[in-house]
């Protein structure tokens, strides 16, 4: 079984291992996208667990970039010379890792930024967060009902506060291009981008910083959501600021309890 928490020691492990491996040059892409790779069963010195551990390192410490229309998470070496990425949808299924030099880019580089410069308690287990903390059936039902009670005829424009890995998008209550997420954890945002590469906008910062910088305007979004863990806390002033940005309503969830503020009428409802 592979480890789920990834820290600096794992990053250092990968740097040492990557430099010692024998990388295979991808001859098929020699002219179009030159790179090398290591593959399970074809490269000495790496086990199945090593591939998964390396993938978690890449998706924890890397950041999004584009290969034409494809968005992936790339980890760049400390000297800025090399980059690594994976292709598997599930990190636990990783059996191939790619390596290329950083001197070539492909297409317009308009991938969302996830770099916040802030360390959070969620960083080390971001690559396992969805598996360790799945949404309960009760939360899924309650959140969908709350959004439906505030939505119009079209998927709502949503600002998701403390968006993490993008659970609000996972539950299908709106569309990627009508969604903006705020969160200070780069690894958590990396997971969101992996699942939803066409996300409308990401703001890698704490919501208090975004409010202080006046990044959003009054009524800019139809719905503002905040799915909180037991350790998270929003001050009354922050909640008031979020409500001001929601033309239809604010949804604050903690556990299976959801509070809905209809900003059109100031009615507050508690849902369970």
- What does the DSSP assignment read for 153-189? SSPPPEEEET-TTTHHHHTTSS-GGGEEEE-S-HHHH
Q: pLDDT, tens digit, for every residue of 85-102?
A: 999 999 999 999 999 999
Q: 261: exposed, middle or buried (C-beta count within 10 Å: 0-12, 13-18, 19+)? A: buried
Rounded to whole angstroms, the Cα distance separating 75 from 55 reads 10
Q: 201 has which bridge partners?
A: 180
Residue 271 has pLDDT above 90, yes or no: no
Conformational region of residue 68, where left means phi above 0, alpha means psi within -120 to 50, and beta covers everything else:
left
pLDDT 10s digits, 221-250: 999 999 998 778 889 999 999 999 999 999
Residue 38: per-residue pLDDT: 98
pLDDT at 31: 93
Distance, in Å, from the CA atom of 217 to the CA atom of 231, rounded to the nearest integer, reads 28
The domains found in the chain, sorted by start residue, are 8-101 (no CATH), 123-271 (3.40.50.150)
pLDDT, tens digit, for every residue of 18-35?
Answer: 999 999 999 999 999 999
- Residue pair 206/186 in contact (Cβ under 8 Å)? The answer is no
Residue closest to 202 by CA, chosen among 184, 218, 217: 184
CA distances from 183 to 71, 76, 110, 161, 163 (A): 19, 22, 19, 7, 6
């Amino acid at each position: 079984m592979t480890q789920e928490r990834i820290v600096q020691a794992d990053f250092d492990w990968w740097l040492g291992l990557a430099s010692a491996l024998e990388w295979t040059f991808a001859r098929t892409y020699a002219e179009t996208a030159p790179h090398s790779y290591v593959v399970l069963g074809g490269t000495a010195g790496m086990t199945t667990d090593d591939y998964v551990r390396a993938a978690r390192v890449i998706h924890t410490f890397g950041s999004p970039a584009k290969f034409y229309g494809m968005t992936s998470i790339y980890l760049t070496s400390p000297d800025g010379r090399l980059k690594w990425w994976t292709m598997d949808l599930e990190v636990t299924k990783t059996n191939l890792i790619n390596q290329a030099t950083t001197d070539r880019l492909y297409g317009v580089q308009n991938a969302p930024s996830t770099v916040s410069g802030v360390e959070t308690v969620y960083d080390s287990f971001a690559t396992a967060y969805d598996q360790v903390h799945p949404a309960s059936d009760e939360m899924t039902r309650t959140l969908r009902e709350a959004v439906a009670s505030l939505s119009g005829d079209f998927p709502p424009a949503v600002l998701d506060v403390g968006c993490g890995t993008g659970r609000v998008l996972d539950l299908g209550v709106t569309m990627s291009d009508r969604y903006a997420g705020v969160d200070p954890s780069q690894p958590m945002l990396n997971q969101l981008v992996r699942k939803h590469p066409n996300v409308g906008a990401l703001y890698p910062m704490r919501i208090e910083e975004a409010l202080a910088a006046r990044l959003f305007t009054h009524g800019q979004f139809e719905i503002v959501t905040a799915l909180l863990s037991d350790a998270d806390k929003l001050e009354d002033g922050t909640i008031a600021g979020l409500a001001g940005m929601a033309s239809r309503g604010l949804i604050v969830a903690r556990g299976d309890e959801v509070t809905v503020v209809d900003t059109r009428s100031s009615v507050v409802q508690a849902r369970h």
